[in-house]
Amino acid sequence: MDFDVCGMRGADKGAAVRIDGEEGIGVDLRGDGYDDVLLYRNDKELGKSRAPNQNGHWHHLRIEARGARYRVYVNGRLKINYDDQANARPAGRLALAAYTGGKGECEVLYDNVVVRSLH
């Protein structure tokens, strides 16, 4: 999954992959106070890396979920490379996400969303 994202107000923006019911693998590009990208399954952190991302600026995210391997790229740079030995989420749906981060308001712009099957 590739997409461009620009947070205008709020804190976190990103996507989720392999969603089944209320569970999935989330990727959050977190803003003010964090300035990182986070990979997680429900409440469990799977990976994190520094990724400054101010509101009002566009960023490109690429999420690869191939077998048990997850790779997350921010602006063309590999930030997270995680191997889920249990392969707990082998399939599922996709979603775009935005969070207020306690600010009580959120506005996020998405563009150029592309989803490809990886074999």
CA distance 11 to 33: 9
CB 63 within 8 A of CB 1: yes
Joined tokens for residue 69? 């391997």
Q: Quick check: pTM over 0.85?
A: yes
DSSP designation for 11? S
Mean model confidence pLDDT for the chain: 89
Give the tens place of pLDDT for each residue, 41-96: 988 999 999 998 888 899 999 999 998 999 999 999 999 999 998 877 788 899 99
Residues in the chain: 119
Joined tokens for residue 7? 């947070």
Phi, psi of 18 (to 5 degrees): 55, 45
pLDDT higher than threshold 70 for residue 3: yes
